[in-house]
Structure 1
């Protein structure tokens, strides 16, 4: 029996970074949704689709991805923030969320993804 692939949503407004992450995740055996570049697109997608985890760039143009994180948290879907921000830049209710600094080191991303479902 083939194991079920985890579906990861990428929220990233920089196309090149989004595609880089998507290519890496596909090569690692994940199913990828996105990348989506805005809060509105992500929330619309999540209203109609299930994912197993998400990677969230914090700054998306003029907005921040915190509303997406709160929807994911409420649905018990793990996520990782990707950003140049630090934990103290996050709202109090999201400070315990995993955070990887940009530029993303793929080995650290793989390690973090490996811990999301344990």
Structure 2
């Protein structure tokens, strides 16, 4: 079972994501609302994937979380944001970005795609609605 960390400052969205991920067969290893707690949690639980909101409760960006957790690991970062064209995403570590609002189906499909890319699989011709690859 793949482990996922949720980095989201809105508790209602985080709870919703946890339900969607549990229903899809993922293990949620934690929910963090800010950069420092997300990095601490991520280093402790060593997730395979992360759903990372771009703007966090401490005013910092989720790209800091991915930068801390990605190097030297097979961690796949999926950003979740209402501003998918934010300049911080242009050179951000991670695989992709999913624009808010999104459906549970798009989220699960995007996570599968992120995991596939981390495993060296080719990108499918059809991408989930609201999803785009980084870089």
Structure in which a larger fraction of residues adopt helix: 1
d(CA) in 2 for partners of 1:64, 1:88? 11
Contact 2:66 2:93 (8 Å CA) reproduced: no
Q: Tell me by how many angstroms 1:97 deviates.
A: 3.3
- Cα deviation for residue 88 of structure 1 reads 4.6
SS of 1:59's equivalent in the other structure is coil
* Counterpart pick for 2:14 among 4, 14, 18: 18
Partner of 1:71: 68
Structure 2: tracts of 5 or more residues without a match: 117-135
Matched, 1:44 2:40: yes
Q: TM-score scaled by structure 2? A: 0.76
Q: Detail structure 1 runs of 4+ shifted over 3 Å in the superposition.
A: none
| Aligned counterpart for 2:4 among listed residues 5, 8, 16 | 8
Matched length: 114
Residues 26-105 of structure 1 aligned to structure 2 (within 5 Å): 26-61=22-57, 62-74=59-71, 75-94=73-92, 97-105=95-103
**Alpha carbons 1:12, 1:60 under 8 Å: kept:** yes
TM-score, structure 1 normalization:
0.86
Q: Distance in 1 between matches of 2:53 and 2:90?
A: 18
Unaligned 5+ segments in structure 1 are none
For residue 108 of structure 2, give the secondary structure of its aligned residue in structure 1. helix
Over the aligned positions, Cα root-mean-square deviation in angstroms equals 1.7
Query: 1:64 offset after TM fit, Å?
Result: 1.1
Does structure 2 retain, via aligned residues, the 8 Å contact 1:72–1:78? no
